[in-house]
Structure 1
């Protein structure tokens, strides 16, 4: 029982081991389709402990073994039990995980091997470890590309770090050797956090920071009532303007300001058009919000290189559309939304992280950047692909009335049923390589079906 999974990573043993030892590794290694969360990471691979959260408030605690710690070639952890909430995990039997790293001939590549001794059969673990190895290899490749382009370790301030994108982005950055300072609203004394008041940010908030990634904003999904629309707008435009002003005036402050944005800029009803960064804004509510949001983040004249990441529909079961649709499709109750002819411009979560990362160091990216796959799909194609990945039929189309019941008529029109064929022209012009440009590949990776 258990599993042995091995692959070759295009990085040295020192690089692979260092990646595993840094904060964020556990977040990057946890499969997004599994009901687990990282509660606390181990401060040391030599003798620390890590804690995972399971459904129902249960816990999984792993203890690293000091007597088997051999950097950069090996570390070992075992599940231990300390408290009633950890007892149910014992029902799966023992768990011992050996992580091994061996240099391949020439020393520039590494054989990475996971050996897990457990009663759980290999067939139940194979997708998990295939995912983990892909994440390590892909992340290290992106960090190597950045180093070759001249990127050095940075201090990066991030707002919205607790959200789906923020958690994975900050984990990616810290495993790459960068220091992340989370800007939080609560009072904090933590070394890597600073208190941020979106309405009156402190003048010294960004002193000593090399770059800012601004992700914060109220969720857009919801019924488009007057109160909801005001919250969507007010949580973005004013706070972004004030944060940009503080960044521009900071002593020894950032030179790059990367702000979240959205393809809602183009308007929801754009049939038959191919939209790029040079196209004008639409004329609906979201288009007006995004236009003003981007305007608040455009401070190049103040000495900052500003990038606005116009994000498509993010694919991850951790949140967004896929989190809602996955259980329905898994139960065989899925189907296209509305007519199915509308074009969906989407992006894999890891590809979105790569866009933010590249914006930090590639001076050719400035102003709006479309963060979408170069291969958009129609609503029908999306439903059929998701059904095929999950091996389920897609025979139950959802009429336009369905989203309207949840989002209201305006929300359904501008979100669920939007027709936008958006191309990432700014990225394609610099030969940016997407990890998963095809929807099927993205869904298989994100759902453990690769």
Structure 2
């Protein structure tokens, strides 16, 4: 039996902090990608009887051998750092504004009782987390063995609660900064396509944490309140289903990290154009009645082409730079053009040109982890020239933060930044890095070497020659100045901070 305690000071009123925990999305925002993932959100918030299920992994970085890396690469799936087990928790106590408690009813530990206590403090709120727990060893090996296991688990808990404290503080600051920016003067209704994806899941949770209502667009029969059926392949979407929405966020699109066969290229293009065109035309129809104010649609820095620079230390690309001429540049150009009907109808339209999103739960970082964890990581050099490619990255938290900022900010709102977002916007961190710096930083964050140069044959084997040229061998130094001028405050300006936030 052991007790873990953690205190977090938050410069916000106790009622606001407690209200954040009562809203949907809190568990998604507080679950670290290096520790687990939410399988089933709380059935009734934090009220007694509400249950949730999380898939959790053992502490530390497991599965780091060459065999694990080879298996992940051969299967072309993201590396899973550890085996997962289901954890079912039930809320058992609740005092509005003061405390709530959850207990493990099924899971890997001996026992778990977590009490969240909220107290007024000078200038804000003091949140006290107290966990009474027992590690599995206590069931079979009482005494010193169980005590050692408890100490190891306590170290893991400290890492988890440091992540949770950072997330909570940043989310509360974000919502405080965006309160009252929109002229509606009330929580917004926001429809999201791709709401179950890597970005969509966290964007939904962030918006819901601010009291906004999110309506996911789904391609199956709606199974939960607020879900909206749509069929982009058939052009199916009832405008009445979006009539109450203030904004639509379009994140739908099939993955690009594949071999660029003719069928895959057609799928990549079609999955983006059909959905964007359908949503943009629907938003345009609704704009006449003043219902639809904002359309935020995904794009990518691939718009500029894989090799837009002619000099080794180029000036960062701004939004007025020309489009490239490779496959992904053509996709991005057509993707952005598909949003034109909404823009022409007077809907504020934002096109988010997203860089390399950093998350251990998916994307390029998840694909690199098996190599680095096995000690086989290292920089990629551009074939032929041997130059060090530029990497324009962004943390997952800043990705969803910028999307929410684009939704919530309005050029007509009192106090809105002079550069409020409209048109194309580069969604990248302020400090892009050369590939060699990226490799060293990731190796340092994982406590692994990163000196092996990746041979050009490896990306070509996985992605094909064209896919490797457009993805693995791309070099883009992209500016975030327009996003910052709109008033967005980055959570992670430095690559190392972004990586350490999401790695064990």
Q: Which range, TM-score by smaller chain? A: over 0.9
SS class of match (1:227): helix
SS class of match (2:44): coil
Encode CA deviations 1:382-432: one digit per residue, 9 max, x unaligned.
010001111111122211211111111111111111100001121132343
SS class of match (2:455): coil
Instruction: Tell me the equivalent position of 1:219.
Output: 255
Q: Check if 1:123 corresponds to 2:155.
A: yes
Q: Structure 1 residues 57, 443: closer, same or farther in 2, change over 3 A?
A: closer
SS class of match (2:46): coil
Distance 2:17 2:488 in 1: 24
Distance 2:283 2:421 in 1: 19
Alignment match of 2:343 (pick from 300, 303, 307): 300
Retained in 2: the 8 A contact 1:210–1:256?
A: yes
Instruction: Tell me the equivalent position of 1:139.
Output: 171
Shift of 1:327: 2.7
5+ residue gaps in structure 2? 58-82, 135-149, 412-419
Instruction: Tell me the equivalent position of 2:129.
Output: 114
Distance 1:188 1:381 in 2: 46
Shift of 1:16: 0.8
Retained in 2: the 8 A contact 1:258–1:307?
A: yes
Shift of 1:57: 7.1
Shift of 1:78: 0.8
Alignment match of 1:409 (pick from 448, 460, 465): 465
Q: Check if 1:194 corresponds to 2:228.
A: yes
SS class of match (2:186): coil
SS class of match (1:166): helix
Instruction: Tell me the equivalent position of 1:185.
Output: 219
Retained in 1: the 8 A contact 2:301–2:426?
A: yes
Instruction: Tell me the equivalent position of 1:354.
Output: 401
Instruction: Tell me the equivalent position of 1:288.
Output: 330
Retained in 2: the 8 A contact 1:277–1:425?
A: no
Distance 1:266 1:386 in 2: 26
Instruction: Tell me the equivalent position of 2:141.
Output: none
Distance 2:273 2:296 in 1: 14
Retained in 2: the 8 A contact 1:205–1:246?
A: no
Q: Structure 1 residues 143, 294: closer, same or farther in 2, change over 3 A?
A: same
TM-score (norm 1): 0.93
Q: Check if 1:97 corresponds to 2:114.
A: yes
Q: Check if 1:166 corresponds to 2:209.
A: no
Greater shift in the superposed pair: 110-119 or 372-381: 110-119
Distance 2:348 2:176 in 1: 23
Aligned alpha-carbon RMSD (Å):
1.6
Shift of 1:54: 4.1
Instruction: Tell me the equivalent position of 1:233.
Output: 269
Shift of 1:446: 1.1
Instruction: Tell me the equivalent position of 2:375.
Output: 332
Retained in 2: the 8 A contact 1:342–1:417?
A: yes
Retained in 2: the 8 A contact 1:9–1:111?
A: yes
Shift of 1:41: 1.8
